[in-house]
Structure 1
């Protein structure tokens, strides 16, 4: 979208926005529904300004409190930003959702939804196969340095389970970031982050098997990194697949 298009209102691009009155029951949720419909239909785009609180309440025939609650919810999600005053940043403006906001929402939904573990593993495999294959063709020098730093930290003799888990997460996140596909990266990061605590719990429950499992995970990571560095996307994807599934098997035996 050009700068001039981003600075125009939906009305200026053609026609009134079709706001419809909503029922009083759960009115703030229905306000959210209407704004979402406008975004999905393309009537509201990034940079567009919503009607003022008073006007929007009048259009939808709800209280200003309901509009205010809906806007606060959208702000928390990163969908809109609100500014005070009378300048160009004043009012409520539709904004591009930051990656952090998307990953936060996905992470929380995965953690709360209580999906079967095998479903989560399968989803991770699908996403991380894609991330690894893409990283093999897109990773930069900085990306490789981030992966190596995480792996080197995991190989320190004094690393404990919590630090090991944090570095393991950092390694997988670095691969996702190197993929060059923002959506795949965000979904991969959200899934891996959602598993951080369960994985840490499993690592802590390994007892005497901790050293053996940690050595296997390190070996897997070295093999994945080698495949990505060689530019072999297919091999990198296969090694990530095997790593996630074998790690799940090893960790599921923990007390």
Structure 2
């Protein structure tokens, strides 16, 4: 029986560097807080050029597992970190903008995440988390608050509840999903006919969500969270579909 040869995948140099660093992380030889050797020392170890090494380090910095501090001294150089929140949000926002996911997909993912987080928060959230979430709701109730600030506080509120659920990944994903559609939400808030009435309606639901979580009514909180998301986020989906039918874009 003849041998069936398969093409060998050719990796670019910086991908080989990435693979090597990933292996060090997976084996526990590199941990969060560890500092990588200077480029002039690390490049010869890998047997690559400093430009290839920099390319690999830039990829790690983009995905939120490395921070590079230029200059000299004990705080300079590249350090392994755990900072997935912003990186994942940027990545998801780009994929949404490129059409990888529809607005309906984003809404359904958000509903699933936040039903889970509000239900779990009713059982697991500590008083400190609930107090901080309550402060955010109070700040959103100010009559002179602008839509952009309201949206920022709104995001913080939902992420805080998610972190109170006891699941760090749920919190990160909630922030990323919110970030992916932030430009659309800001535009929709800026275009509402009666901003004051919209703000009051959204925040009255926030207040009720807080009450349900504090009193341990997880299922009711999950139901209201879904209603809350579908109420406003759902209007974006309708507008998106209408725009698509008219030949427009989101």
Residue 74 (structure 1) aligned to one of 54, 57, 60 = 60
The offset of 1:70, in angstroms, is 1.8
TM-score normalized by the length of structure 2: 0.74
Equivalent positions of 1:1-255 (< 5 A) are 26-40=12-26, 42=27, 44-46=29-31, 53=39, 57-58=43-44, 60-75=46-61, 77-80=63-66, 95-97=80-82, 101-114=83-96, 115-208=101-194, 210-251=195-236
Counterparts of 1:241 and 1:140, CA distance in 2 = 23
User: How many equivalent residue pairs?
Assistant: 226
With 125-134 and 113-122 compared, the bigger mean Cα shift is at 125-134
Asked if 1 retains the 8 angstrom alpha-carbon contact of 2:107 and 2:234, the reply is no
Structure 1 residues 165 and 72 mapped into 2: Cα distance closer, same or farther (>3 Å)? closer
SS at match of 1:158: coil
The offset of 1:96, in angstroms, is 4.4
Counterparts of 2:212 and 2:141, CA distance in 1 = 19
SS at match of 2:143: coil
Asked if 2 retains the 8 angstrom alpha-carbon contact of 1:125 and 1:241, the reply is yes
Counterparts of 1:229 and 1:86, CA distance in 2 = 48
The offset of 1:60, in angstroms, is 4.5
The offset of 1:112, in angstroms, is 0.6
CA RMSD, 1 decimal: 3.3
* Structure 1: gaps spanning 5 or more residues: 1-21
Structure 1 residues 250 and 46 mapped into 2: Cα distance closer, same or farther (>3 Å)? same
Counterparts of 1:232 and 1:64, CA distance in 2 = 57
With 71-80 and 117-126 compared, the bigger mean Cα shift is at 71-80
The offset of 1:26, in angstroms, is 3.4
Counterparts of 2:140 and 2:73, CA distance in 1 = 53
Counterparts of 2:237 and 2:135, CA distance in 1 = 27
The offset of 1:240, in angstroms, is 0.9
